[in-house]
Amino acid sequence: MADATEIWLPLGPGTVEGLPDSLTYRYWDGEEEFPADPANCAFYVVPYMKGPEISVRPLERMTGLRVVQTLTAGIDHLVPAIPRLPAGTRVCNARGVHDASTAELALALTLASLRHLPESVRAQEHGEWAPGVHQALADKHVLIVGHGSIGSAVEERLRPFEVGTVHRVARSARTAPHGPVHALEDLERLLPLADVVILTVPLTDATRGLADARFLGLMKDGALLVNVARGGVVDTEALVAETARNGRLRAALDVTDPEPLPRAHPLWRAPGVLITPHVGGATSAFLPRAGRLLREQLKRWVAGEPLEHVVDVA
């Protein structure tokens, strides 16, 4: 380890049990004042869901930094700062921490949209009894775009619902436990087959704007787009054209671009669009899993063992 041994955590003292006693912990969750000299921080756990500006603010002063650990699966909010980190600094993501919560929400958004639950809620507010025949998830053809740990968790939760088929797409082709994973190049062939398209890809240069006008245009009439990835994966103007303007597609979105979505944005009022405010990972399941990740990572670090989930090195 480097001379700097302080650990900056966004979780309060005593929140995470079982952390190594040999380290000095500083609590910082994005407050204006730093808890100590950032130069003494060797292991920085990024505040959760506080935005890129807060996430990177102490980094330029963390001259003894060796590890940056996010509590998110994506690291897009840190990417611009990575080249300026001290050489050799490892950047680790929180793979696995949000799988259960995000997969639950993906399924909830899918079911709510197919069964028109938002319309029923609005009818209830007016005391209206509004029966109808809606779509079931059973027998539907589902395309999961992004088959990492979250995409795999989504598929596991889909299986009891008697879906017709599940197609999987990732950056490169491979074989998964329940069938083949196709490469991104196969999207044009698979999109017209899907009744439901669920996005779980990370936001990278390769995936930014992935669901553009051509992507959406290849989806069948009445299909549902579910986005629990990042807002930037979808071309917002193209989505507005397919929902608010012509109503050809439905959408269920936990993330948007921009975010938060401005009050006057047409997606708020688009027919068949359901929006939640980026709450995929913000559940009671977060803290136990985040704590487990931090315990294991810090134990490995103290012991000089390889860290898990290293996604970049400065």
Catalytic hit among 77, 168, 278, 309: 278
* 116 in active site: no
Distance CA 107, CA 160 (A): 12
* 278 in active site: yes
Residue 292, phi then psi, degrees to nearest 5 = -60, -40
Catalytic hit among 259, 295, 296, 300: 259
Of the candidates 120, 132, 71, 78, the residue with the CA atom closest to the CA atom of residue 286:
71
Distance CA 109, CA 228 (A): 9
SS (H, E, C) the chain: CCCCCEEEECCCCCCCCCCCCCCEEEECCCCCCCCCCHHHEEEEECCCCCCHHHHHCCHHHCCCCCEEECCCCCCCCCHHHHHHCCCCCEEECCCCCCHHHHHHHHHHHHHHHHCCHHHHHHHHHCCCCCCCCCCCCCCCEEEEECCCHHHHHHHHHHHHHCCCEEEEEECCCEEECCEEEEEHHHHHHHHHHCCEEEECCCCCCCCCCCECHHHHHHCCCCCEEEECCCHHHECHHHHHHHHHHCCCCEEEECCCCCCCCCCCCHHHHCCCEEECCCCCCCCCCHHHHHHHHHHHHHHHHHHCCCCCCEEEEC
Q: Which residue type, as a one-letter code, is found at position 115?
A: R
* 155 in active site: no
Catalytic hit among 66, 230, 250, 289: 230
Under a CB-based contact definition with an 8 Å cutoff, are residues 193 and 167 in contact?
Answer: yes
Catalytic residues: 230, 259, 278
